[in-house]
């Protein structure tokens, strides 16, 4: 599976995105199809295709994604009320872009559990 996704082009600034945070290893930008009043994607600058590809040598980047989430929560004022951070994996998880990313959703009180909105009825 190629790791060259639309997110690689956003990292290299070949295509535009509404970038709200950048540091050495992570980038955050607004989701083009927001599912909450605030919906950002937080990605590592190095492509890791799925959660299944996280290992001992790249796992520090996953921690950095959460550090960025905490910074954004503070910056945009969601830290106290709360927010949701989700990483989808492969087809059943709803992953469509194969470069790991945290969805950061905020600005509304969300329901739980999420599987109430499953795509298909399970037999
Ligand atoms: P997932 O389905 O978990 O892989 O999430 C991929 C997300 O990327 C979706 O929420 C899309 O709306 C979002 N997305 C796809 N292309 C872009 C883009 N060019 N800029 C911002 N968000 C995007």
Tens digits of per-residue pLDDT, 19-68?
999 999 999 999 999 999 999 999 999 999 999 999 999 999 999 999 99
> Could you tell me the distance, in angstroms and rounded to a whole number, from the CA of residue 112 to the centre of ligand 1?
22
Best residue among 31, 38, 100 to mutate for probing ligand 1, ranked by most atoms within 8 Å of CB: 31
pLDDT at 118: 72
pTM of the model: 0.95
Instruction: Please report, to the nearest 10 degrees, the dihedral formed by the alpha carbons of residues 58, 51, 105, 114 taken in order.
Output: -160
Q: What is the arithmetic mean of pLDDT over 62-86?
A: 98
Q: What domain count does the chain have? A: 1
Percent with pLDDT over 90 in the chain: 88
In a domain, 114, yes or no: no
CATH of the domain at 33: 3.30.428.10
In a domain, 77, yes or no: yes
Question: What is the Cα–Cα distance from 120 to 122, expressed in whole angstroms?
Answer: 6
Please report the atom of ligand 1 found closest to the CA of residue 31.
Answer: 22
Q: How far is CA 112 from CA 63, 89, 103, 104, 116, in A?
A: 24, 19, 16, 16, 8
Domain ranges, residue 97: 6-106
């Amino acid at each position: 599976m190629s790791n060259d996704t639309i997110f690689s082009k956003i990292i290299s600034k070949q295509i535009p995105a509404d970038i709200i945070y950048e540091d050495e290893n992570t980038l955050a930008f607004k989701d083009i199809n927001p599912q909450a009043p605030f919906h950002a994607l937080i990605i590592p600058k190095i492509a890791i295709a799925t959660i299944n590809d996280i290992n001992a040598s790249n796992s520090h980047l996953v921690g950095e994604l959460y550090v960025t989430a905490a910074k954004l929560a503070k910056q945009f004022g969601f830290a106290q009320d709360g927010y949701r951070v989700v990483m989808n994996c492969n087809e059943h998880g709803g992953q469509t872009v194969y470069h790991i990313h945290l969805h950061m959703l905020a600005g509304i009180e969300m329901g739980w559990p999420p599987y109430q909105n499953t795509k298909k009825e399970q037999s």
